[in-house]
Structure 1
Amino acid sequence: MAKSRRLLKIICAVTAILLIIIIITAVTLYYTLFKPKQPKITTQSVTLDSFSQNLGDITDLNVTLGILVTINNPNYGGFKYGNSTTYLTYRGDLVAEAPITEDSIPARGRHDVSMTVLVIGKRLITNPDFSKDLGTKVLNFTSTTTLKGKAIVLKVFKKKATTYSSCDISINIHYNNATSVCKSKVKF
């Protein structure tokens, strides 16, 4: 009876020590290796696919942008997101929307998202600063995107996550090109 109690105490002590080691290892891995990191969103190209204006009717304006964005996921977990929309604003006024279809970004992977954005001319020209900007041949836009989804680590742990991206896009009409700078963050 005394031997079985002693054996039971030893088994409980060893189990407790192993459990503590496993918990410490898991917490250490989470805060070092698996700690969520910000994705890096890079605009590979913004092309001015078309810019046309009917001289007879100033409200007949067509601007089409082609945007290719690369999302680098530095995390050890994938990110699966649902359908979303990119919004394009000109000096605070919404001038275009582009749908983004649901997809996933693999762990430590790279994902390209391409879209074509048709700017609504009537919304653009009603802005009081449009004629001044058109005279300088440079139009400045801001695109914002919110992707809601789940971060998946080791195909077991799932955590809701939302990525926010904002890009400042400058279009030079004279040279028919565009440049952009993007910022992003993730909220878990």
Structure 2
Amino acid sequence: MCSRGLKIFLVVSLLFLATVFTAIVVLFFTILKPRDPVITLHLVDFQHFQLSDSFLYKLTKNSNISLQTVISMKNPNYGSFKYGNSSGYVKFHDMIVGVIPIKGDLIPARSQINMNTSINLMLGKLVNAYEFLSDFANGTLNLRSRFILRGKACMLKIIKLKTRTYTACKISLKLPYNKEVNSICKSKLQFDL
């Protein structure tokens, strides 16, 4: 049989392990709980973009334009996120009219980065869309953008998990003279187990 001292040691050890396990679970579900990133899209040179009636008539089907864009990515988590090169697309109604190349980078824990990129907009395809003239006449061009960032999340330099971030943005361009841009983005973080 076990001595009384060994029994006390086992009980105290089990209580200690249960306390540590409970503390880890509580920390993970409160402080270390994975949160969705905050991503915003800013069109930088839209102020210099001229889209007048005379310009529209000169366009061909293969006309393209590159709009300089800044994508701000805020990581509210206690772990860093490193992602590889990716690309997104821009849709007008249900037609793809643009591509967004995204260069791979590292977003440190609880910080924000600004990434310079460009939207390669296929103006010929956009202008020839059935709904374009009615939206242009109303003064607002509504676009949607989607992209997925695949990478690894690293927490406390110990835990590394494959992660995906899904982002969908609604971009509203006020045309032709107001030059106001509104974008609302929603992001969702998902772990690949």
The TM-score, its normalising length taken from structure 2, stands at 0.84
Deviates further, 136-145 or 79-88: 136-145
CA contact (8 A) 2:101 2:118 kept: no
**SS of structure 1 residue aligned to 2:22:** helix
Residue pair 1:46, 1:177 contacting (<8 A) in 2 also: no
2:121 is aligned to 119
Distance in 2 of aligned mates of 1:169 and 1:87? 12
Deviates more, 1:7-16 or 1:163-172: 7-16
Structure 1 range deviating more: 57-66 or 106-115:
57-66
Aligned counterpart, 1:9 = 7
CA–CA separation in structure 2 for the residues paired with 1:22 and 1:88: 48
Q: Structure 2: where are the runs of 5+ without partners?
A: none
Q: Structure 1: where are the runs of 5+ without partners?
A: none
Asked if structure 2 preserves the Cα contact closer than 8 Å seen for 1:47 and 1:178, the reply is no
- In the other structure, the counterpart of 1:28 is 26
Q: Deviations over 1:108-129 (max 9, x none)?
A: 1111122111211232133111
Mean Cα deviation higher: 67-76 or 45-54 = 45-54
Structure 1 residues 109, 149: CA separation in 2 closer, same or farther (over 3 Å shift)?
Answer: same
Shift of 1:47: 3.7
Structure that is richer in strand per residue: 1
Deviation at 1:58, TM superposition (A): 4.7
Flag the 1:165–1:9 CA change in 2: closer, same or farther, 3 A.
Answer: same
**Sequence identity of aligned pairs in percent?**
33
TM-score of the pair, normalised by structure 1: 0.86
Change (3 A) 1:113 1:56: closer
Write out aligned runs for 1:1-188 (5 A): 5-48=3-46, 50-51=49-50, 53=55, 55-59=57-61, 61-171=63-173, 172-188=175-191
* Alpha-carbon contact 1:47-1:177 (below 8 Å) kept: no
